[in-house]
Chain A
Amino acid sequence: MQIILPDRSVRTLACTSAPIEEILLELGINPTTVIVVKNGKIVPEDVIATEGDEIRIVRFSHGG
């Protein structure tokens, strides 16, 4: 699966299936500070990502 990080860099993960929350924590990202978009749709972090999925992580900065 492909992970698009908040800085727009792309990382490919070898695992076949994992809850997105675990992937975020593995990447050192607190799930309460980001929004996850799986294959173009916003999803809760406890959804499972599988091989072939594209996961985009949107970080929101403070201020506003």
Chain B
Amino acid sequence: MTMPMRIQPIVESAVTSDNRHPAAEISRRIFRPWKIRREDVVGWLFVLPALTMYVVFVIVPFLSTIQYSFFKWNGVSPATWVGLKNYASIFQAPNLIGTVINAFLLVLWFSVIPVGLGLVVASVIHRVATGRLGEIARTVLFLPQVIPLVAAGIIWGWLLALPGLINQILKAFGLGMLTRAWLGDFDTALPAVGMVGIWVLLGFCIVLLLTGMSKVDPSLYESARIDGAGWFKEFMAITVPLLRYEIGVCLTVTVVAALAAFDIIWVTTAGGPGSSTSVPGVQIYILGFTQRAIGPASALAVMLMALVVLVIIPIQFLTKEIKQ
């Protein structure tokens, strides 16, 4: 850390907006980078509220979680140090592997499909539905992000129930043999939850990708069209390569949403039937808040975080490379 030092402004006819001599300013920037400038202090002051919140609500709980994972504690009584026993107990849980597999299966529904479909839909909107129609389409598709998930979970519960709308539509089309309680059937519960995930995450991907597309120089598309490129060729040769950064962001957010899933599962199936839609996030909740076993819950949370980081690092790495 450098010592703070007051900068004396040199008053001359030509000065910077904050009353400093441009030459002095430049030379100071070049030759004395270790001095703390007023901009830095002001900058940090601007960051301070957000930083405080981040430290209090992210960094401290994060460190506390690691700490709790080595203790036997019910949240109230004195905690006892148990070393790595909580981690060992997690591995003894009978359905742990099953919940991790479910989380990876959700990557298909929460990440691959929303990003893939998002690219296609965004590209169509960008090409066809410009102006008012595009705005309406964007708004409608983004709406699921705005609707509180608990309400959405209840509505999806009705839609997917045996007497629900989806089965009624199937019957109307003569597909009565397909009707079932989609969220209560061992074979269809996870895909049904996956559909809810697509509904929630698709709009986010589309909006992000559309923003990226609007930055692409239209002359590129123009010249491609002059060269006779169709929609698909244009999509593969221009849209996808130039949107790699946005795709990276979408992938990161949605993969985290899949692996660390809790809310969508909790409001639709709570992990059932059996444990066919249970994921580590649900297990952490039950351990911590139902069973009041804070130690094992924290241990599982730390392990889940490590898993998410392991999966996300390659995606981040690719994104960075492309950015350069």
A and B are interacting partners: no
Q: Residues on B close to A: CB < 8 A?
A: none
